[in-house]
Amino acid sequence: MTDTTRTLVNFNGRIVMIGFGSIGQGVLPLLRRHIGLAPENIVIINPDPGPEPIAAEYDAAYIAEGLTIDNYRELLSRYLRAGDFLLNLSVDVSSVDLVRYAHEVGALYLDTCIEPWLGSYVDDNLTPSQRSNYALREEMLATRRELGDGPAAVITHGANPGLVNHFVKVALQDIARDLGHPLPEGQGQKDWSRLARDLGVCTIHIAERDTQRSRTPKDVDEFINTWSIDGFYSEGLQPAELGWGTHEKALPADGARHGFGADAAIYLERPGAATQVRTWTPQAGPIHGFLITHNESISLPDYLTCHEHGQVAYRPTVHYAYHPCDSAVLSLHELAGRGWEMQSRKRLIVEEVIDGMDELGVLLAGHDRNAYWYGSQLTIEEARQLAPHNNATSLQVTVAVLAGLVWAIENPAAGIVEPEELDHERILEISEPYLGRVTGAYTDWTPLTGRGTLFREDLDLDDPWQFHNVRVV
């Protein structure tokens, strides 16, 4: 286990960070603490000059400019050389274009989600499938096939996607151990997918409950969140997306397949911010979360698929079930009522959080012990003690960025990799000191618990874990 002071790896190149919002500001102290770097070797490129004093606190050079499709090559060419690290923590900048550029230059790369250029998420000339994370991932996978070997480019490595992909492997091992099931000998895709199949895991929720709050309640015409409001807005207005498991009996009436690519996931013809699902976390108990699209809902079911005789024999249903902080729930409610027109004011709460916890983990269901949640319970007080410029939500992300960055420096020729392809033990060893209580818990809760008595609901009583039962609206 690493501690929270030690240098984890030395890096001779320069880190060029794109974007300096909640995640960029939160990761900077961790970079200074854990990466052996020359003082002049951090450069931040961010269009908003506001956070420059935080960059100065950590001796980082600050370039107050934004990347666009027209200027990004010229702008990056001023700072990025072979052997450097391009750390993309921005919104509205194309991940695929930056991955290509880093590959060309010979620089390492990491991002926390696959972003398109500004506006694509809400471009109504595009179909829901074209606006999906599924399509963005397919574009990235095609880029990987085209570019082949090259410098490490770790894509989608924050908390979720990122940490949670690794939590799934630990949860599978825990369930196997507790059921007396043999553990796989290897650590490859086939080993993990067979283990999930043999344990009977049919559904995986990324189950998150954020209870952080500010003393100042949400005002009318204001959007509050504990991380990027622009990022949450964009993904909330993408179609709801989920990995579609082989145990599911019927596609939802508003569900559709993409008709191209890996086919591990479907989308719903409605925004994730208007789609709710039932889930469970240890502290909160049963909750309703939003089915916001995320890359892990697509990469995990793809990774955990078993094929037999060229056919898909097993795949779990996988989706996010996100209960954001209470003020964000109210903000989403107001936003939906306004026909998805963003409120005039946005408030990202970091320093002003007075209490609360981010409980973020994975709920694996359908096996002989019913359901098992494994993840991080991090309070705001713990987060503040561990690192400046973070709240509980951002710290779960920023430590995963740090861990992914260390992994890329240690594996510099890995090419383009998704979280499933990293060494989960190395990532968790680096991350755990920053995650508060990391724990697992079984539950006998199912989406049928407490239902079917007060109202005549259309439930599938034979299989509690049908998506039909999980879905609220």
Note the residues at the interface with ligand NAD (CB under 6 A).
18-24, 45-48, 66-67, 89-93, 112-113, 115, 158-162, 227-228, 230-231, 397
- Name the residue nearer to ligand NAD (CB basis): 112 or 379: 112
**Count of beta carbons in the 10 Å neighbourhood of residue 141:** 17
Q: For residues 93 and 109, give the distance between their C-alpha atoms in angstroms, rounded to a whole number.
A: 14
Q: Least distance to ligand NAD from the beta carbon of 153, Å?
A: 15
* Cα–Cα distance measured from residue 324 to residue 392, given in angstroms and rounded to the nearest whole number: 12
In whole angstroms, how close is the CB of 247 to ligand NAD at the nearest point?
27
Q: How far apart are CA 286 and CA 129, in angstroms?
A: 31
CA distances in angstroms from 285 to 373, 402, 455, 469, listed in the order given: 11, 31, 22, 17
Q: Which is nearer to ligand NAD, 119 or 259 (CB)?
A: 119
Question: Minimal distance in Å, beta carbon 246 to ligand NAD?
Answer: 27
Residue 23 or 108 having the CB closest to ligand NAD? 23
Q: In the complex, what is the shortest distance from the CB of residue 401 to ligand NAD, in angstroms, rounded to a whole number?
A: 9
Is the separation of the CB atoms in 168 and 204 below 8 Å?
Answer: yes
Name the closest residue to ligand NAD (Cβ).
Answer: 21
CB nearer to ligand NAD: give 228 or 305.
Answer: 228
Taking the least distance from each CB to ligand NAD, the nearer of 202 and 402 is 402
- Select 118 or 448, whichever has its Cβ closest to ligand NAD: 118
Q: What angle do CA 108, 112, 116 make, to 5 degrees?
A: 95
Give 90 or 211: the residue with its C-beta nearer to ligand NAD.
90
Shortest separation between residue 81's beta carbon and ligand NAD, angstroms: 19
Report the nearest approach of ligand NAD to the CB of residue 467 (Å): 23
CB of 161 to ligand NAD, least distance (A): 5
For ligand NAD, which is the closer residue by CB, 69 or 461?
69
Please, which residue, 160 or 446, has the CB nearer to ligand NAD? 160
Q: CA 242, CA 266: separation in Å to the nearest integer?
A: 6
Kindly state the smallest distance separating residue 252's Cβ from ligand NAD, in Å.
26
Please state the length of the chain.
Answer: 473
Which CB sits closer to ligand NAD, 52 or 178?
Answer: 52
Cis peptide before 412 (omega within 30 of 0): no
Smallest separation (angstroms) from ligand NAD to the CB of 338: 20
Three-class SS string for the chain? CCCCCCCCEECCCCEEEECCCHHHHHHHHHHHHHEECCCCCEEEECCCCCCHHHHHHCCCEEECCCCCCCCHHHHHHCCCCCCCEEEECCCCCCHHHHHHHHHHHCCEEEECCCCCCCCHHHCCCCCCCCCCHHHHHHHHHHHHHHHCCCCCEECCCECCCEHHHHHHHHHHHHHHHHHCCCCCCCCCHHHHHHHHHHHCCCEEEEEEEECCEECCCCCCCEEEECCCHHHHHHHHHCEEEEECCCCCCCCCCCEEECCCCCCCEEEEEEEHHHCEEEEEECCCEEEEEECCCCCHHHHHHHHCCEEECCEEEECCEEEEEEECCHHHHHHHHHHHHCCCCCCCEEEECCCCEEECEEEEEEEEEEECCEEEEEEEEEEHHHHHHHCCCCCHHHHHHHHHHHHHHHHHHHCCCCCEECHHHCCHHHHHHHHHHHCCEEEEEEECCCCCCCCCCCCCCCCCCCCCCCHHHHECC
Least CB distance to ligand NAD at residue 403 (A): 12
Instruction: Write down the least CB distance from residue 20 to ligand NAD, Å.
Output: 5
Tokens of 112: 């926390």
Q: How far is the CB of 79 from ligand NAD (least distance, A)?
A: 13
Between 202 and 350, CB nearer to ligand NAD:
350
Nearer to ligand NAD, 19 or 261 (CB): 19
